[in-house]
Structure 1
Amino acid sequence: MTLQNRIINQFTDSIQTKQDALGELCELIELASQRMVSALLNDRKILTCGNGRSAASAQLLSSNLMNHFERDRPSLPAIALTTDTTTLTAITNDYSYEEVFSKPIRSLGQSGDVLVTYTDGNHSSNIAKAIVIAHSKDISIISFTGEKSEVISGLLTERDLEIRVPSGSAIRTFEVHVLITNCLCDLIDHQLFDGMG
C-alpha cells in the first residue's frame, strides 16, 4: 500500500465513522445541547474532564464556552478539570489518580451543574469516580464514549445522556468527539444568542 493510499484510507474511515455517528446520534446531540443550555440559563456551569487525547476534547469544550466559538458573545461558565497541573499532581501524589476529577467536583460542583466526560476506551477509573461523585451532588452527566466504554456506560442513569460513537477505534472515536463538541458549541450559541442584536 502506498503512502497516499494510507492517507485515503484514513480519510475514508474517518468520514464513514462520522456518517455512522450522524445517523445514530443526531437526536442525542440536540438533547445534550438543550440540557447544557438549561443549566446555563439557571446560573449553573459546565464541568468537563477526560484523559489523554480526551482531555484535549474536554478543554476544547470549556475553551469554546468560556472564550467564544465562532461569534463574539458573553463568556459562559465552563471549567475543564484537566488543566490545573499543581492540583492534579497533588491529588495524584497525596491520594490516587482515581480521585483526580472527583475531588474538584466535590468542591466546585453544585446541584444543577452538568458534568461532560470524555473517554474513548474502558480504562478510566477517574472518570468513573467523577460520575459517582457527580451523581451524589445532583449533577447530571453527558458522557462521550465509544464502543469500548462499558464501565462508564454502566454507571449512567436514566437522567444522564450517553453519546456513544459507533466505533471500536479510539482514534475514530476521538475524531467524532471533537466534531460533536463543535456541534454542541454551535447549538448552544444558537439557542442562547441568535436573538442578540
Structure 2
Amino acid sequence: MMTPIDRLKRNLEASIQAKQALMQNSATLAVFAEAVDATVACYQRGHRIYIAGNGGSAADAQHLAAEFVSKLARDRAPLAAEALTTDSSILTAIGNDYGFDQVFARQLAGKAVAGDMFLGISTSGQSPNILKALERCREMRVPSILFAGRDGGPATQLADFSIVVPGQATSTIQELHIVLAHTLCECVEVAIFGE
C-alpha cells in the first residue's frame, strides 16, 4: 500500500516531468508568447479580458481575474478582467432558459465588445460551454485563448491561441494552468507598467 509520502513524491514527480516537458515544447511556448502579446494589446487599447472554466478551472478563472484587477506582485492600476463563473443568478437563468452549454457564450454576447479577449480553461478541451463560448468569440471577432491539456480536444480548432499542456492527470494539468495564468499576468504587468 502506498504511503502518503509515496503519493506526494509520485505527484511531485509527475508535476516536475510535466513542467519540464512544457519548457521543452518550443511550439507551445511560442503560442503562449503570442497570447501574451495579444493580451497586452487588448489592455493597451483600453479593453478587458473575460475568463471561464468549470469546476477547478472555474476557480482558476476567478483566481486570474483577481490577479488582473487587484495585483499579482506589486501595486499598480487595476486591469479590467471578469470571471464569467461567479454570478449565480446569471448562470442559473441562462442554464435554465438556454442550457448549461450557453452559460458563457450568452454572457459574452451581452458583455464583450470587439477588442476584448476571452480565456477559456478546460483540462480536456471538450467542455461544451467552453466550445460554445469560443464559437461566440469567433462570431463576435473577440480574440480567444485556450488553456487545455491532454490532446486539447476540439477547442483547439476554435481558439486563436491554443496552449495545450502535457500531463494526463487533471490535477497536473491544472497546476500547469496556474503557472501559465500567473506568467500571463506577470508579463502583462511588466509590459504595461514596467519592471
TM-score normalised by length of structure 2: 0.94
Give 1:181's aligned residue.
181
- Residue by residue over 1:14-49, the C-alpha shift from the partner in whole angstroms, topping out at 9 and shown as x without a partner, is 111111112223322222111100000011110110
Aligned AA (2:11): Q
Give 1:138's aligned residue.
141
Matched-pair contact (CA < 8 Å) for 1:49–1:80: yes
Q: Distance in 2 between matches of 1:18 and 1:85?
A: 34
State yes or no: 1:194 paired with 2:194.
Answer: yes
Alignment equivalent of 1:65, drawn from 65, 68, 73: 68
**Residues 43-122 of structure 1: pairs in structure 2 closer than 5 A:** 43-122=46-125
Deviation of 1:4 (Å): 1.1
- Residue by residue over 1:103-122, the C-alpha shift from the partner in whole angstroms, topping out at 9 and shown as x without a partner, is 11001111111110000024
Q: Distance in 2 between matches of 1:147 and 1:61?
A: 22
Give 2:22's aligned residue.
21
The 4+ residue runs of structure 1 with deviation greater than 6 A are none
SS of the aligned residue for 2:24 comes to: helix
Gaps of 5+ in 2: none
Aligned AA (2:169): S
SS of the aligned residue for 2:51 comes to: strand
Q: Alpha carbons of 1:109 and 1:10: their partners in 2 closer, same or farther (altered >3 Å)? A: same
Identity %: 31
Aligned AA (1:112): G
Q: Distance in 2 between matches of 1:75 and 1:154?
A: 32
Q: Distance in 2 between matches of 1:28 and 1:123?
A: 20
Superposed CA RMSD: 1.3
Aligned AA (1:65): F
Matched-pair contact (CA < 8 Å) for 2:113–2:140: yes
Matched-pair contact (CA < 8 Å) for 1:120–1:148: no
TM-score normalised by length of structure 1: 0.93
Q: Distance in 2 between matches of 1:20 and 1:58?
A: 24
SS of the aligned residue for 1:94 comes to: helix
Alignment equivalent of 2:41, drawn from 25, 38, 41: 38
Matched-pair contact (CA < 8 Å) for 2:32–2:161: no
Give 1:127's aligned residue.
130
Q: Distance in 1 between matches of 2:178 and 2:127?
A: 19
